[in-house]
Structure 1
Amino acid sequence: MTDAFSSSSETVLQRVLEVSLKSNTPVDKLEELYQIKATCDFILEHQFAKVALQFPDELLGDSVAIAEEINRNTNAKPFILGDTSYGSCCVDEVAAEHVGAECIVHYGSACLSTSKRLPLMYVFERRAVDVDRCASSFRELYPDSRSNVVILYDVSYAHAVKDLVTILSPEYPNLVSSELVVEGERCYSPGFIKRLNNDSLPPEQCDSQVIYQFGRQFSLKSGSSITDYSMFYIGEEGATLRNFMMTWNRCSFCSFSPATMTGRAESISVNRALMKRYYAIERAKDASVVGILVGTLGVADYLTIIQQLKETIRRAGKKSYMFAMGKLNVPKLANFLEIDIYVLIACPENSLLDSNDFYKPVVTPFEMEVACNKQREWSEEYITDFRRLLPGGQSHVPLADQQDESDETDVSLITGVLRSHNLLNGEPAETPSSSSMVLRNQTLTVANTNSAASFLAGRSWRGLEQKLGDTPVVKAVEGRRGIAIAYEEEGTAS
């Protein structure tokens, strides 16, 4: 019997599933790739009785064989989380809590966002990489042996970085290798990850500048800054690389693809990408109704950033509505035409959503703060980790005191219309459902304050409504039989 769990329900369904034991990975290689023995030791050490095994879609083929091995060696009851509520790189603590799991084992690629509810173990996929070819590409991309270079990598290639550094360090004295680190005492990973602790740095690095972001930590030479370094990334093009390039946008990037075994200088125009994001900020400034999309329930402090955003949006004279959605797509967001712009709360890798196909733009919490908090100015710094925006964070900018706020105006770069930053003096007006309220402030700017409720009242179709007492009662009648191409009473086409 296999326990199957659906994240859309709070109940566990027990049923017998006919699952083929044939795995995508040969049985004799499961231990090497998935570190089953280390996982069993972790479970036995802490005496966990229920364990949630979270797999991304591409590794589900191996999940049953791994779960059987864990059950056989520990007697713990494993639950396979095959359909995560949000991105598979984040830990799905909500689904694990629904089944009463005492810990989570997360397999595959991970964003290493902080999770604090349950004990957690990371098991990274050990993807193959030719270290010698990688070193050769590095030499071609950085012919100057005095170059300052930081090695970054996808977590799936963490097992090969030590060998690469051993080859290159004698030739490149200014080479810096990043380490995988996580916050919290309840997170574990065999071999390639450690808990965040600045006191554990070697003595020769105590006077260095320590950079910690996105689950990576590395030390720079004393007196230098991140802009003095180039970045060498091991992995495929995707969300992880894009996140690094947007954050450290003043550094040059090169990458090595283990799949094609080729290296290249990244030619994507980061400035062009930043211009697109700045356009989204201008759209956020013009917006009157903001939809807050909750794209994670596992990253620490997501509730705090929601409250901060709601207050920031309110103080800017805008209305906000909150939406909890799993996998975002165009049809879902198209149902809410009254929303002018969305702000997505997610992990750093999933927050940079390309919203070209969406009817309304989707921005990050940082971009919404630039649009609504006049104390924060657009600069070369770009922030994808919303935790840095919170009080105590490295990039936190408090809101101005309400007594000191003045009704400032500027011109929209998109519409050319004069707009007011503090349109309603921080207090959105209540709008009657029967009509719209039109306000005229001191700068003679006309503002339409239609609420989403009044917008809905004007729709001809409003979804599934009971309309008790309005719909006449009729007897049930027998409907058509058959399939749509040919119902039984219609006969067959000649």
Structure 2
Amino acid sequence: MADAFSSSSETVIQRVVDVTVKTNTPPEKLEELYQIKETCDFISQHQFKKVALQFPDELLVDSVAVAVEIERHSNAKPFILGDTSYGSCCVDEVAAEHVGADCIMHYGRACLSPSKRLPLMYVFERRPVDVEKCASTFRELYPDTQSHIIILYDVNYVHAMNDLLTLLSPEYPNLVASELVVEGEQCYSHGQMNRQHDDTYLSEQDGRQVIYQFGRQFSLKKGSSITDYSMFYVGQEGATLRNFMMTWNRCSFCSFDPITMTGRTESVSINRALMKRYYAIERAKDANVVGILVGTLGVADYLTIIQQLKETIHRAGKKSYMFAMGKLNVPKLANFLEIDIFVLIACPENSLLDSGEFYKPVVTPFEMEVACNKNREWSEEYVTDFRHLLPGGQSHVPLVDQQEDGDETDVSLITGALRSRNLLNSEPAESSFSSSVVLRNQTMTVANTNPAASFLAERSWRGLEQKLGETPVVKAVEGRRGIAIAYEEEGTPS
């Protein structure tokens, strides 16, 4: 094989890269996979004229065929939303409003986070699953038929759950099946329950305990706790399973992958994962400048959690700056070296971002509250849905009253240095310097205030300078031709 640097420019340009692309679904299977008849009935029933069709990247190959069928069987004009601004599991209401859509049809995997702007219908991709194999794997993983087990699943396999329960329920009397619940007055899904309000997470119903979380609802026996149950998950390893395991971290998990048709006991150490998250919390406590990353514009109440975070961070004496940059990657965040830590506001499945390759840690709103709110303590509870942190939510913890909020110091577990948990009184009224040392209290504790603007001013390179009016105007000239390793006028490299 020839070395890349010794190849000619023509060879490089003509080089072929193998990429696996999903093939188009046959026309006779479009109806079954995308539920076109039910979709058109929904559109006609509500008399929608403009419909936005949101597809994930892996289903875009079928988008044109689905749009043609919808336009043929309804009076609506479909618009395809291809590249979503954030995660494809969230509803992209902003893109739909750009075309003036009356409603959104969301296809494929979904996090089921509630949306409030536009009417919405979920159309889950009906992925195949061998129910018999799944049931036999379940029996191998749980030989004790008296075990207390809750069945969870990815939304793309909800169509097969009734058949699975038919096989297992007679043998396992303590088996509990979760139901898929679509939340919101304007949110719908074919054949699924609709939840109008989210004011009840835990309630009593016919002597049973009803739990609703992440678009799933199930009931437990009276007097029992969720920690008394094991979890069986149907789906691939990914964000959904990780979200379940972090939230119910005291329950044991087993899973069945319908693609490989194999089951396993999830051996990922939740304690180890929680310790990694706790390390990020310690980094958040040490941080002086916090970047708030807006990772969604569609999940309900995202503006409210932004304001609450700003207040929480300010009360802890830290600076905060807000960023809206779409899908995150390492180069984007590396542009902001003055930020000590980032907090990501996103749906529950996208909040648990593995920030190992990022230059600065990325934490969740819950973790930032643990770092900044003295009333909130680190415990076995782990919250990935930021709506539960808001006033009225099941995990809301109010801030300490400012009059009672004294200045406390503790020791950083990372640097070993003293730090204060309240720097409100450390900011000078006026500061003409980039860095100021000010007296904080009578214990002669000092604070070094260095906001992001001052950090930027101290950089040796602060970006391209425009130099307006200083650059002479010249005529356009012919530039180089070819590619970087072999411009035409330079000849072929040896």
Q: Shared fold (TM-score greater than 0.5)?
A: yes
8 A contact 1:373–1:399 mirrored in 2: yes
Equivalence for 1:336 = 336
Structure 1 position 423, deviation (Å)? 2.0
Between 242-251 and 459-468, report the one with greater CA deviation. 459-468
The superposition leaves residues 33-88 of structure 1 with CA deviations (integer Å, 9 ceiling, x where unpaired) of 11000000011111111100000011111111000000111131111111000000
Partner SS state of residue 447, structure 2: strand
Alpha-carbon spacing, 1:207–1:83, altered in 2? closer, same or farther (3 Å): same
Letter in 1 for 2:422: N
Equivalence for 1:460 = 460
Partner SS state of residue 191, structure 1: coil
Structural mapping, 1:227-306, within 5 Å? 227-306=227-306
Letter in 2 for 1:95: A
Structure 1 position 439, deviation (Å)? 2.1
8 A contact 1:419–1:445 mirrored in 2: no
8 A contact 2:185–2:196 mirrored in 1: no
Structural mapping, 1:313-328, within 5 Å? 313-328=313-328
Equivalence for 2:212 = 212
Letter in 1 for 2:298: G
8 A contact 1:53–1:107 mirrored in 2: yes
CA distance in 2, matches of 1:355, 1:329: 10
Equivalence for 1:436 = 435
Equivalence for 2:148 = 148
Alpha-carbon spacing, 1:402–1:158, altered in 2? closer, same or farther (3 Å): same
CA distance in 2, matches of 1:343, 1:199: 26
Q: Unaligned regions of 5+ residues in structure 1, if any? A: 1-21
CA distance in 2, matches of 1:69, 1:411: 64
Alpha-carbon spacing, 1:97–1:433, altered in 2? closer, same or farther (3 Å): farther
8 A contact 1:51–1:103 mirrored in 2: yes
Alpha-carbon spacing, 1:199–1:369, altered in 2? closer, same or farther (3 Å): closer
For these two proteins, the number of residue pairs brought into alignment is 468
8 A contact 2:30–2:66 mirrored in 1: yes
Letter in 1 for 2:346: A
Alpha-carbon spacing, 1:407–1:197, altered in 2? closer, same or farther (3 Å): closer
Structure 1 position 458, deviation (Å)? 1.6
Equivalence for 2:222 = 222
8 A contact 1:107–1:124 mirrored in 2: yes
Letter in 1 for 2:472: V
Alpha-carbon spacing, 1:354–1:491, altered in 2? closer, same or farther (3 Å): closer
CA distance in 2, matches of 1:388, 1:493: 62
Structure 1 position 101, deviation (Å)? 0.5
Structure 1 position 459, deviation (Å)? 1.9
The superposition leaves residues 348-403 of structure 1 with CA deviations (integer Å, 9 ceiling, x where unpaired) of 00000000000000000000000000000000000000000000000000001100
Letter in 1 for 2:130: D
Letter in 1 for 2:380: E
8 A contact 1:56–1:82 mirrored in 2: yes
Letter in 1 for 2:216: R
8 A contact 2:184–2:197 mirrored in 1: no
Equivalence for 2:481 = 482
8 A contact 1:314–1:428 mirrored in 2: no
8 A contact 1:418–1:445 mirrored in 2: no
CA distance in 1, matches of 2:193, 2:431: 56
Q: Unaligned regions of 5+ residues in structure 2, if any? A: 1-21
Alpha-carbon spacing, 1:228–1:468, altered in 2? closer, same or farther (3 Å): same
Equivalence for 1:15 = none
CA distance in 2, matches of 1:215, 1:95: 24
The superposition leaves residues 403-452 of structure 1 with CA deviations (integer Å, 9 ceiling, x where unpaired) of 00110111000000011100233x74467464311123234443221111
CA distance in 1, matches of 2:198, 2:452: 48
Equivalence for 1:359 = 359
Identity, % of aligned positions: 80
Between 94-103 and 134-143, report the one with greater CA deviation. 134-143
CA distance in 2, matches of 1:86, 1:99: 18
Between 159-168 and 346-355, report the one with greater CA deviation. 159-168
Equivalence for 1:128 = 128
Equivalence for 1:180 = 180
Letter in 1 for 2:261: M
Equivalence for 2:312 = 312
Alpha-carbon spacing, 1:400–1:27, altered in 2? closer, same or farther (3 Å): same
CA distance in 2, matches of 1:27, 1:489: 52
Equivalence for 1:406 = 406
TM-score normalized by the length of structure 1: 0.91
Letter in 2 for 1:312: T
CA distance in 1, matches of 2:229, 2:427: 47
Structure 1 position 124, deviation (Å)? 0.3
Letter in 2 for 1:325: M
The superposition leaves residues 8-47 of structure 1 with CA deviations (integer Å, 9 ceiling, x where unpaired) of xxxxxxxxxxxxxx96111100100110000000111111
Equivalence for 1:374 = 374
Equivalence for 1:115 = 115
Alpha-carbon spacing, 1:430–1:114, altered in 2? closer, same or farther (3 Å): farther
8 A contact 1:85–1:327 mirrored in 2: yes
CA distance in 2, matches of 1:472, 1:28: 63
Alpha-carbon spacing, 1:49–1:27, altered in 2? closer, same or farther (3 Å): same
Equivalence for 2:103 = 103
CA distance in 1, matches of 2:60, 2:193: 24
Equivalence for 2:90 = 90
Letter in 1 for 2:89: C
8 A contact 1:54–1:80 mirrored in 2: yes
8 A contact 2:295–2:324 mirrored in 1: yes
CA distance in 2, matches of 1:39, 1:387: 30
Structure 1 position 478, deviation (Å)? 2.2
8 A contact 1:312–1:369 mirrored in 2: yes
Partner SS state of residue 101, structure 1: coil
Equivalence for 1:158 = 158
Q: CA RMSD in A?
A: 2.1
8 A contact 1:254–1:264 mirrored in 2: yes
